[in-house]
A and B are shown apart, each in its own frame.
Chain A
Amino acid sequence: MPEIAEPRPLLVQIYRMLMADKFALCGVIFLIILAVSAIFGPIFLEDAATRPNLRGRNAPPLSMENGWVNFLGTDSVGRSMLARILVASRNTLQISFISVFVALSIGCALGLIAGYSTPRTSNLILRGADIIMSFPSLLLAVIVLYMLEPSIFNLVLVLAITRVPVYLRTTRAEVLEVRERMFVQAAVVMGASKRRIILRHILPMVIPTLITIATLDFAFVMLAESSLSFLGIGIQPPDITWGLMVAQGRPYLVQAWWLAFWPGLAIILTTMSLNLLSIWMRTALDPVQRWRLEIGRKTND
């Protein structure tokens, strides 16, 4: 009897599909470098980021005169911009990541419940989401942060809560759609339990959509955090994030443009990479669309 062929390892598949989309590849490389330097960078650069050096104030960027650490220039008290951006990236990414992760988990769980429970429970959950959804998330964040203290914890809390409805509604809508599909009915006819249908048939259909949304949302949350910090109701000094750095550089825009420019650029590049990644994921995570990224890969028939 002929043997059943083994599937390709997942990582190889991902690698091949990334190679097919050069834009997404650039985005992923940028994000990986960013993540690695956000995790390990501050260990080495903490000192350069916090120790004032009054003689080297507002040193211009793009010159190696003051050492490679100051390649991106220094700020108004002589701290390395590069070091500060890396330290800030840790806060920025951490806040966004945790917010998105919390929102995704809560939203997905509530969405599954809403999609698979009695109409009464479902309505209650949706009504709650409606309240949050009917006001722009920046407005809610402003109100809550005004009344609570602007701390990292509160910031994460606010950002997470305002994003929960997005995942909740997507999950519920997908559940309602997927559970009517023929293959779910086929599983029911085979005797599959509710648990099995949710875990094996519905979740795998929903998760790619959620991850794609989460990638995009990561960018959105990062922009929201930056805006709040820029406005002075997000992260408070001496903690720093990119948004706060832009705010701090604003008074020096004319004399020292690099103070506000580099953190802004960091935001743009990160957001763009996330956008590109999510566009790629939309195709890569869908088996029906996936062939578009597998062009050039030898077909095995």
Chain B
Amino acid sequence: MKAFIGKRAISSVISLVGLIIMVFFLSRLTGDPTALYLPLDASIESRELFRELHGLNDSIWLQFWNYVQDIARLDFGDSIRRSRPALEVVLEAFPWTLLLAFITMILVTFFAVLIGSLAAFRAGGVFDRFTSTFSLIGSSAPDFWVAIVAIVIFAVQLRWLPTSGTGTIWHWILPITVLFIRPFGLILQVVRGSMISVLSSAYIKTARAKGVKTRPIIFVHALRNAMLPVITVIGDQAAAMLNGAVVVETIFGFPGIGKLMIDSILQRDFTVILAAIMVTALAIFIMNLLIDLAYTLLDPRIRY
């Protein structure tokens, strides 16, 4: 197990290094790196000054070395817009995203597994057809569109819910609901498919021959076996959310990492973007490790 975690860590570090290198060279390849750091209308003098200050006139390898050293010290530099360390800005925003992603994924997993299992048990029935249709529409809807339509209906017309912010529990309802729909539809379909194939397997027959009741058959005997492919999808969806539900956060003015990234892109605040990428990457790495752990807990045949 320890060896496995070590192996995973090494491969993740390699991935991270790949990303760091890619970001650096992309940023230099585009010609003038000051364009990334400074406003588009910055004067030639200020650009020159910036170059001097940040060593952009050095050779590219020296620049790369400095860049790597800075990252290794977790020093991403100051946010140009906010005049504060970029990492601090990112770590302020990140918990919001983490909380939002966590709550949403818990709800998604719970409901998708529950409803998907029940739909699979009576595959082809009314309930199954209803949920299949719903999950199909859900997984097809673009979140930005659902978000703005929901704002018009619930916030503007009906005035039931606030449009943006995080102040009260009411502020959380719309973002969570909108974020919920797509992964819910996707995971529900996977649960259903996996559950149908597991329910027709031989050991379910054995359980029935033992006289096990229907509910334990579904939720004890079948579910744990059916969860393996589901875990993978849950992992993918959670990773996408950790990246910051960019669209939803932007629309609902939610102060998470997604909104921060988009704002920084529009304000050309490169240091913050860099810090945000690294923090997100680390979070995704930890989550992937948890997913692998979940596999070994669910299926004793998997040993790393």
Contact = CB atoms under 8 A, between A and B. Distances in A.
A and B touch in the complex (CB under 8 A): yes
Interface of A: 127-128, 130-131, 134-136, 138-139, 142-144, 146-148, 219, 223, 226-227, 230-233, 243, 246-247, 250, 253-254, 257, 260-261, 264, 267-268, 271-272, 275-276
16 contacts: A130-B11, A135-B280, A135-B284, A136-B284, A138-B240, A146-B36, A223-B142, A227-B143, A227-B246, A231-B247, A233-B265, A253-B148, A260-B149, A268-B137, A268-B142, A275-B139
B144 interface: yes
Given A227-B143, A268-B142, A136 B15 contact: no
B164 interface: no
B26 A131 contact: no
Contact of A231 (B23, B243, B250): B250
B145 A260 contact: yes
B281 A134 contact: yes
B140 interface: yes
A227 B247 contact: yes
Nearest to A249: B148
Given A134-B12, A147-B26, A233-B265, A142 B144 contact: no
Interface string B268-301: 0000010001001100110010000000000000
B262 interface: yes
A127 B14 CA distance: 8
Contacts of A130: 11, 14-15
Q: What are the 3 closest A-B residue pairs judged by CB atoms, nearest first? A: A264-B145, A271-B140, A131-B18
Contacts of B23: 143, 147
B89 to A, nearest CB: 17
Given A147-B36, A257-B152, A261-B149, A275 B144 contact: no
A269 to B, nearest CB: 8
Contacts of A271: 139-142
Contacts of B143: 227
Nearest to B35: A147
B277 A250 contact: no
B9 interface: no
A138 B246 contact: yes
B103 interface: no
Contact of B144 (A128, A139, A226): A226
Contacts of A131: 14-15, 18-19, 22
Interface of B: prevailing SS: helix
Nearest to A272: B140
A72 to B, nearest CB: 16
Contacts, number: 113
A232 B136 CA distance: 28
Contacts of A138: 240, 243, 246
Contacts of B151: 253
Nearest to B139: A275
B209 interface: no
Interface of B: 11-12, 14-16, 18-19, 22-23, 26-27, 30, 36, 136-137, 139-145, 148-149, 151-152, 156, 239-240, 242-243, 246-247, 250, 261-262, 265-266, 273, 277, 280-281, 284-285, 288
Contacts of B145: 246, 260, 264, 267-268
Contact of B142 (A127, A144, A264, A275): A264
A275 B137 CA distance: 9
A260 B251 CA distance: 14
A232 B266 contact: yes
A136 B277 CA distance: 11
A56 B145 CA distance: 25
A272 B182 CA distance: 12
Contact of A143 (B139, B156, B277): B277
B203 to A, nearest CB: 23
A276 B136 contact: yes
A219 B140 contact: yes
B149 A268 contact: no
A107 B212 CA distance: 46
A272 B185 CA distance: 12
A268 B247 contact: no
Contact of B140 (A134, A135, A246, A275): A275
Contacts of A226: 142, 144
A139 B136 contact: no
Considering residues A223, A267, A268, A272, which has the most beta carbons from chain B within 10 angstroms of its beta carbon? A223
Contacts of A268: 137, 140-142, 145
Contact of A139 (B36, B137, B142, B243): B243
A233 B288 CA distance: 28
B142 A227 contact: yes
Contacts of B284: 134-136
Given A139-B243, A231-B246, A146 B149 contact: no
A247 B262 CA distance: 15
Contacts of B280: 135, 139
Given A138-B240, A147-B36, A272 B247 contact: no
Contacts of B144: 226-227, 230, 243, 246-247
A134 B247 contact: no
Considering residues A131, A227, A250, which has the most beta carbons from chain B within 10 angstroms of its beta carbon? A131
